[in-house]
């Protein structure tokens, strides 16, 4: 009798089902096939929802885009821009795992440096799944890293400097 009951329970519940393959989400975007400009532009067109945002620069980490009409000259003579970053692969930061971000930059075109005035980071591409926001105290100037040099050149060109 007990053996029949155990057999009946296993027949009714055969154990855990095999795991289904994971579904694609804004958090599962593959990197481009290469860093050739055409491959990066194709990746951006396919995976980045960025109507009217223009490509400023890219490097091994991802693309930097400027907001439409998001570059201007400030009263104190600097350039200011809304810069969006879409990463090819997630990166670990103190607040969590990030795939994209948006920042307000102050750019000193003469000295070729920038200050991140405000930054918000997101877990997924296309600014999805906000993780954290940081607002700077003043203008913490820094030298550019990676594609930030090219982004600075593009921002300065946009304001005519």
Taking 50 as the threshold, does the pLDDT of residue 1 lie above it?
no
Confidence of residue 75 (pLDDT cuts 50, 70, 90): very high
Taking 50 as the threshold, does the pLDDT of residue 150 lie above it?
yes
What's the confidence (pLDDT) of residue 44? 93
Task: Express each pLDDT in 119-146 by its tens digit.
Answer: 999 999 999 999 999 999 999 999 999 9
Beta partners for residue 96, in sequence order: 93
Domain locations in the chain as residue ranges = 50-161
Exposed/middle/buried for residue 73 (C-beta within 10 Å: 0-12, 13-18, 19+): middle
Q: What is the DSSP string of 89-135?
A: EEEEETTEEEEEEEEEEEEETTTTEEEEEEEEEEEETTTEEEEEEEE
What's the confidence (pLDDT) of residue 14? 44
What's the confidence (pLDDT) of residue 105? 97
Fold for domain 50-161?
Lipocalin (2.40.128)
Task: Express each pLDDT in 27-36 by its tens digit.
Answer: 678 999 999 9
């Amino acid at each position: 009798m007990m053996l029949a009951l155990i057999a009946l329970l296993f027949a009714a519940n055969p154990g855990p089902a095999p795991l289904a393959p994971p579904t694609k989400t804004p958090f599962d975007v593959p990197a481009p096939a290469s860093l050739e400009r055409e491959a990066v532009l194709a990746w951006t067109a396919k995976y980045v929802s960025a109507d009217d945002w223009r490509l400023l620069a890219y490097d091994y980490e991802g693309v930097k885009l400027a907001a439409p009409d998001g570059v201007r000259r400030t009263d104190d003579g600097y350039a200011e821009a809304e810069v969006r970053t879409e990463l090819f692969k997630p990166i670990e930061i103190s607040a969590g795992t990030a795939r994209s971000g948006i920042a307000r930059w102050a750019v000193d075109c003469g000295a070729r440096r920038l200050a991140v005035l405000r930054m918000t980071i997101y877990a997924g591409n296309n600014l999805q799944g906000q993780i954290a926001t940081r607002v700077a105290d003043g203008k913490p100037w820094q030298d550019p890293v990676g594609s930030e040099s090219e982004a600075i050149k593009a921002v300065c060109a946009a304001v005519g400097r």
